[in-house]
């Protein structure tokens, strides 16, 4: 299964602050130290981040009422998945992570310096989001090169695709242990700063909306509220 490990992640101070659950404008005005720590962690990010992705592209051999039958005998199921991928000819199944060094370091640092630990955790959240965006861009470019289109990426936990069910399906199609990702019985991945997704590819697919449109917390998400200002 192909592995991609050359990623130049673009992460800003505001990205790190948002990943901490903060409003960047408020933090800059009231707690400039947090912004400085965010800037510092970005400068040192190469020490902690090891972004890597693994994927496999499957042919969609049959579309049933509630299931996509894939080449090799695998499948993706659920009305949400079928509704969004039924028009695709192929599906890219993807897992990615920034590694476990950052979260191990953050957990240790937090014991003695809560603010630096918070900044490191924010860096991790921002980094995995940046990696996810970079991976999506990679597959959009790949689709363009092949004169097809790519769908909006779908991830377990989106509205209509339960985490445990979705993750079990993806891990049944990808051996993500090759890049150090494990799945526990609750559907949580280790390292925590990891992401899985599926992207449909085909000449008849359309990209509608964004992943945020399918998120279960979109009505109270700070990112969404800032985007809608």
Q: Are 69 and 161 in contact (CB under 8 A)?
A: no
Q: Are 54 and 96 in contact (CB under 8 A)?
A: yes
pLDDT-based confidence at residue 32 (cuts at 50, 70, 90): confident
| H/E element, 40 | helix 32-43
What does residue 219 show for φ and ψ, rounded to 5 degrees? -75, -15
Q: What is the pTM of this model?
A: 0.87
pLDDT-based confidence at residue 224 (cuts at 50, 70, 90): very low
Q: Are 182 and 128 in contact (CB under 8 A)?
A: no
Alpha helices (H) in the chain, listed in sequence order: 13-19, 24-30, 32-43, 45-48, 79-85, 101-110, 114-145, 163-173, 222-227
Over residues 42-49, mean pLDDT:
92
Over residues 64-80, mean pLDDT:
91
Residue 55, number of CB atoms within 10 A of its CB = 21
pLDDT-based confidence at residue 219 (cuts at 50, 70, 90): very low
Structure tokens at 179: 């890049």
Q: Tell whether the model's pLDDT for residue 225 goes beyond 50.
A: no
Q: Tell whether the model's pLDDT for residue 11 goes beyond 70.
A: yes
Kindly tell me the sign of the dihedral angle through the C-alpha atoms of 215, 205, 72, 175. negative
Q: Tell whether the model's pLDDT for residue 128 goes beyond 50.
A: yes
Exposed/middle/buried for 134, CB within 10 Å: 0-12, 13-18, 19+? middle
Q: Are 198 and 91 in contact (CB under 8 A)?
A: yes
Q: Tell whether the model's pLDDT for residue 222 goes beyond 80.
A: no
Q: Tell whether the model's pLDDT for residue 223 goes beyond 70.
A: no
Assigned CATH topology for domain 3-227:
NADH Oxidase (3.40.109)
Q: Tell whether the model's pLDDT for residue 216 goes beyond 60.
A: no
Q: Are 72 and 172 in contact (CB under 8 A)?
A: no
At 227 the pLDDT is 44
At 33 the pLDDT is 85
For residue 215, the 8-state DSSP code is -
Return the SS3 of 61.
strand
Residue 184, number of CB atoms within 10 A of its CB = 9
pLDDT-based confidence at residue 208 (cuts at 50, 70, 90): low
């Amino acid at each position: 299964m192909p592995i991609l490990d050359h990623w130049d992640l673009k992460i800003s101070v505001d990205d790190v602050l948002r990943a901490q659950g903060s409003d960047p404008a408020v933090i800059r005005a009231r707690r400039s130290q947090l912004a400085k720590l965010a800037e510092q962690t970005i400068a040192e990010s190469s020490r902690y981040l090891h972004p890597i992705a693994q994927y496999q592209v499957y042919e969609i051999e049959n579309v049933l009422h509630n299931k996509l039958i894939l080449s090799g005998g695998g499948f993706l199921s659920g009305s949400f998945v079928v509704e969004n991928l039924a028009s695709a000819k192929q599906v890219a199944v993807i897992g990615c992570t920034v590694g476990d060094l950052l979260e191990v370091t953050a957990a240790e640092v937090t014991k003695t310096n809560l603010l630096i630990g918070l900044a490191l955790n924010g860096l991790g959240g921002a980094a995995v989001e940046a990696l996810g965006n970079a991976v999506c861009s990679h597959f959009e470019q790949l689709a363009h090169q092949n004169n097809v289109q790519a769908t909006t990426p779908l991830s377990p936990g989106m509205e209509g695709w339960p985490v445990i069910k979705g993750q079990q399906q993806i891990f049944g199609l990808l051996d993500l242990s090759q890049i150090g990702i494990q799945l526990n019985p609750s559907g949580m991945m280790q390292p925590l700063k990891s992401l899985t997704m599926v992207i449909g590819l085909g000449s008849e697919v359309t990209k509608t909306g964004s992943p945020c449109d399918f998120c279960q917390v979109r009505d109270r998400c700070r990112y969404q509220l800032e985007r809608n200002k």
